[in-house]
Amino acid sequence: MSPRTRRQKAAAELEATDPSPAVNGTFQEAPKESPEEVQENVFLFAPNLIGYARVVLTMASLYYMPLHPRTCSLLYSVSCLLDALDGYAARYYNQSTTFGAVLDMVTDRCTTACLLVFLSSAWPRWSIIFQSLIALDMASHYMHMYATLSMGGSSQSHKKVEASRSWVLYQYYHSRTVLFICCALNEAFFIGLYLLSFSSPILSPSLLQPASDASPWSAGALEQARANKIDSFWPWVITGISFPVMALKQFINVVQLVKASKWLVEGDLAARNALRQAKN
């Protein structure tokens, strides 16, 4: 066997046994197998389970809302208080997710809207106010979320607001204590109004009038069924104490709507300028 043939045979044997084959004359390490990705079920994260519980409690409170103020208020209040617990669970278990943040916001908006819808039916003369509050709440949060995702990036939280963009929103979202107090007392105000619809002839004079309609499901019959269900003292206290914070919360909603609109317009102007420069 010639020396050249022996060298070729030895090289072939080395290539078959060496875990680091030669590529283009250079020996390289064999690629290491990547570790298996951890499969997680985001839907079953602890904060999201709390979010599902909030939805169930809200639906139960809506069932009792027409004629059972104590049961409804208890279920509704527990659902609102769990709003603080899911955020704590997300930080404690390191399970903060985009799905959880959206679930939390959607639950908040729908819960408040459902209560305001009932207040509109309980006090038709003030329905335009409750309808305006629903529209403001939905519009401000939707535009703020959309502006954050489109201008700040899909990974940016809607609660991350720079002080340079809005000092009011920075103070509102930056402090968990301020955020909790504003949200809790805002809901407490509407719960107080809900309880007053069962107990205060001052706000609902029709509670003193007998129902003229024979149908038990008519508006008059429902108002008569609500009459004198509870004493009005504590509902007045709750409503009076929480009113200033509720008014502040609506002001923050207006600021949030305006700032989000301006942020979206900034993006529109930047996109139009970039398009004009590309054409030139």
83 is catalytic: no
- For the residues of 157-189, what is the DSSP string, one character each? -TT---TTT-HHHHHHHH-HHHHHHHHHHHHHH
| Alpha carbon 166 to its chain's center | 20
Q: Using a CB cutoff of 8 Å and minimum separation of 24, what contacts does 250-253 make?
A: 250/133, 250/136, 252/168, 252/169, 252/172, 252/182, 253/136, 253/137, 253/140, 253/141
C-alpha span between 137 and 148 (Å, rounded) = 17
Which tokens belong to 250? 């609506």
**Catalytic annotation, pick one of 83, 104, 108, 137:** 108
Which tokens belong to 34? 């990547």
Cα 110–Cα 115–Cα 203 angle in degrees, nearest 5: 155
C-alpha span between 113 and 130 (Å, rounded) = 9
Residue 214, CB-side half-sphere exposure with 13 Å CA sphere: 0
C-alpha span between 216 and 223 (Å, rounded) = 10
Which residues are the active-site residues?
A: 108
